[in-house]
Amino acid sequence: EGTLAEKVAQDQVSAAMPYAPVIIGPLAKSAGVRAANPKIYFVAEDPALGEYNAIFAGTICMLENRDAGYEDTDNTEDMLRKIMKTNSHVVDQRALLRARLLDMIIADWDRHFDNWRWGEHDSAGLTYYKAIPRDRDWAFYFSNGLVPKLARLVALRFMINFSENLKYINSVNYKGRRLDEIFLHGLDAATWRETIRQLQRDLDDNAIAKAVQNLPPPVFDLIGPSFIKKIKGRRDDLEGQAMKYYRSLAKTV
């Protein structure tokens, strides 16, 4: 704290998209991905807030149901512990793949282990863990500044801009690659292609437009049409790029 590094890092927050979650919620629903559907509220001053008036009164806040319809969920560490303890607990790999493909479309490169919750679903004597993505801090990231360009060259290769063309797929997925190596190992190329094509059908032009229209009207007027165009372009590029990533994961079987 109090150093140049802190100031530079804080400056980069301006490259984040603060309204990303209100687009991603409807997109996830259309894509068949279990995820939170956040709402944005203006918080008025209210005596009922008590000591928290000073923090929240007069601000715009976002509320979401973290467990996305489940009574309770596990973090990744707890889920791993249960999986290692018994063979009857497994990850639903197809569900995770759909969630990861959506991450690629929305250019969310911050998908490390702590950015997931896991809901339990019992079927045929097994307990399946369904992936619930959370923390969309860096979805739709975009910056043309000098500092992030240098950072990408030196160390932070994953800071890829949200653009109409889905590219640099291995870099976009860099922070999530360990999760993918562990939990997508049971899916072959044919399953990947089938899942990709179904996701492309589910995220049709109408679903994308409706999701982006969930932005507050003044924000939509500024960026809405360009976001619709970019999401459509990334969806259309998905199969070619995602299969490149599949092949990088499948180098060592």
Cα-trace Rg, the chain: 19
Spell out the SS3 assignment of 31-75.
HCCCCCCCEEEEECCCHHHHHHHHHHCCEEEEECCCCCCCCCCEE
Residue 68: is its pLDDT beyond 80? no
The reported pLDDT for the residue numbered 59 is 95
Mean pLDDT over residues 204-216, rounded?
97
> Which residues, listed in sequence order, are joined to residue 49 by a DSSP beta bridge?
none
- The proportion of the chain whose per-residue pLDDT surpasses 70, expressed as a percent, equals 99
The closest alpha carbon to 118, from 134, 136, 128, 131, belongs to 131
Helix (H) or strand (E) segment spanning residue 5 = helix 4-12
Phi, psi of 19 (to 5 degrees): -100, 15
- For residue 150, the Cα-to-chain-centroid distance in whole angstroms is 25
The reported pLDDT for the residue numbered 253 is 67
The residue that leads in pLDDT, 156 or 246, is: 246
Q: Kindly report the pTM of this predicted structure.
A: 0.90
